[in-house]
Structure 1
């Protein structure tokens, strides 16, 4: 049973990401070129560019306007990892992040044009492996969001570190 399931309207998702991209550009433009935060913002903006390419492809390619994805439980995620390792071992290869992404999207997709209820796990993985990498990266990002169930930590370690360094610099 998935942790969280979300039906995502592709056009609305594009609008949301476009707005986030504009916000990131404004924030990055206000920072000096050598500010490390600027690099983080630029990297996130570039990731959004990738997601938008995948979403625009999906809107052009499919008749549907939505996909439904879900977060994975610990057991489901463990099966994904085990499947990737097992599959790579059968081929005499080392497992990699690309294969993990394919297995993760295959497991985390509830409803979409590229999967069907009657498909076996192998058929789902095969179908997902045929999708453009830009769409796979977006789907992985959304499935990961649902898997982590939000950030329950009030202040991330990186934010706490930056805050502490600023206080030290001011002293």
Structure 2
């Protein structure tokens, strides 16, 4: 059972990531201008890591937009506990060499993104109705694994964001961090 799903227009995602990159750039500029109080270097390092992640995702989405157009749409869905367990089982099988996929670092991210991917211009699931669940995941995993790392990180982030059931009752840590960093 899919928790939440979302249709993402690549052009809108480029704009969102561009805005986030600008916000992180400003936060890092502000951190560099501070007096160097204790703990700020760790904060700046964490900000830099988040900024690098956004930058990499942005480059991945830019690749997809150049390849398929800014109006192209990608549909992703959050994972429920059963789907998450299947991700963990698949990753364990990959690492143990019990699948056709080679045991590579980052397999968890690829499998997680693949299971959450519902539709995309780079995903070709011909005769989807005839495919078993395992064959569907294999096809999606092949498609995700062929993408640039930034595109896969973006997919992972979007699926992960939807894999929560807070429905406004709980603010994610990233939202809290952004609120405190803009004060």
- TM-score, normalising length: structure 2: 0.74
What is the distance in 1 between the residues matched to 2:95 and 2:122? 23
After the TM superposition, which of the residue ranges 103-112 and 121-130 deviates more from structure 2?
Answer: 121-130
**Alignment partner for residue 116 of structure 2, among 89, 99, 108?**
108
**What's the offset of the Cα at 1:82?**
0.3
**SS of residue in 1 equivalent to 2:75:** strand
* Root mean square deviation of aligned Cα: 2.8
| In 1: Cα distance, 2:171 partner to 2:17 partner | 24
Matches within 5 A, 1:14-33: 14-31=14-31, 32=34
Please identify runs of 4+ aligned residues in structure 1 that moved more than 3 A.
94-97, 149-156
- Cα offset for 1:11? 0.8
Distance 1:62 1:155 in 2: 31
Give TM-score scaled by structure 1 length.
0.79
Q: Is the 8 A contact 1:85 1:95 kept in 2?
A: no
Deviation at 1:153, TM superposition (A): 4.7
The DSSP-based 3-state class of the residue aligned with 2:109 is helix
Q: How does 1:1-171 map to 2 (within 5 A)?
A: 1-31=1-31, 32=34, 34=36, 35=40, 36-63=42-69, 65-91=72-98, 98-115=106-123, 116=125, 118=128, 120=135, 121-149=137-165, 153=170
Q: Which 5+ residue runs of structure 2 have no aligned equivalent? A: none
Gaps of 5+ in 1: 164-171
Label 1:154 to 1:126 Cα distance change in 2 as closer, same or farther (>3 A): closer
